[in-house]
Amino acid sequence: MTGAISDTNLLGWTSTNATTTRMSVVCPGGDCSGAPLPLPVAWKYYPGGPSYFPAPTTAVPSCSQVPVPTPYQQSIAGCVQTPIACNSQVAIDISAYTTRNSETSEAVNCLTHATTNKGDTVTSSGNPPTAPFQFVAGDDNPISALAGSDVMVSDSLVTVPVFNSTSTTTAPTSPVTIIGFAQLFLNPEGFHTPNGGGNVGQVKTTVINLAGCGTVGSGTPIVGNGASPVVVRLISGS
**What is the per-residue pLDDT across 191-219, written as a single tens digit (0 to 9) for each?**
544 444 455 677 888 888 888 786 554 44
Task: Determine the pLDDT at residue 203.
Answer: 82
Residues 235 and 5: beta-carbon distance below 8 Å: yes
Question: What burial class does residue 212 get, using C-beta atoms within 10 Å of its C-beta: 0-12 exposed, 13-18 middle, 19+ buried?
Answer: buried
Model confidence at 94, in pLDDT bands (50, 70, 90)?
very high
pLDDT of 220 over the 90 cut: no
Q: What is the DSSP letter of 39?
A: P
**Is the pLDDT reported for residue 87 higher than 90?**
no
Determine the Cα–Cα distance for residues 101 and 29; give it in Å rounded to an integer.
6
Q: Is the pLDDT reported for residue 225 higher than 50?
A: no
Among 7-21, 23-37, 187-201, which range has the highest average pLDDT?
Answer: 23-37
Range 79-100 average pLDDT: 88
The torsion angle over the Cα atoms of residues 201, 141, 123 and 17, rounded to 10 degrees, is 20
Looking at residue 219, what DSSP letter applies?
S
pLDDT computed for residue 166 by the predictor? 66
d(CA 138, CA 184): 17
| Burial (CB count within 10 angstroms: exposed 0-12, middle 13-18, buried 19+), residue 141 | buried
pLDDT at 96 over 90: yes
pLDDT exceeds 70 at position 108 = yes
Per-residue model confidence as pLDDT tens digits over 43-76: 888 999 999 988 887 767 677 778 888 999 888 8
Q: How far is residue 172's CA from residue 190's CA, in Å, rounded to a whole number?
A: 29
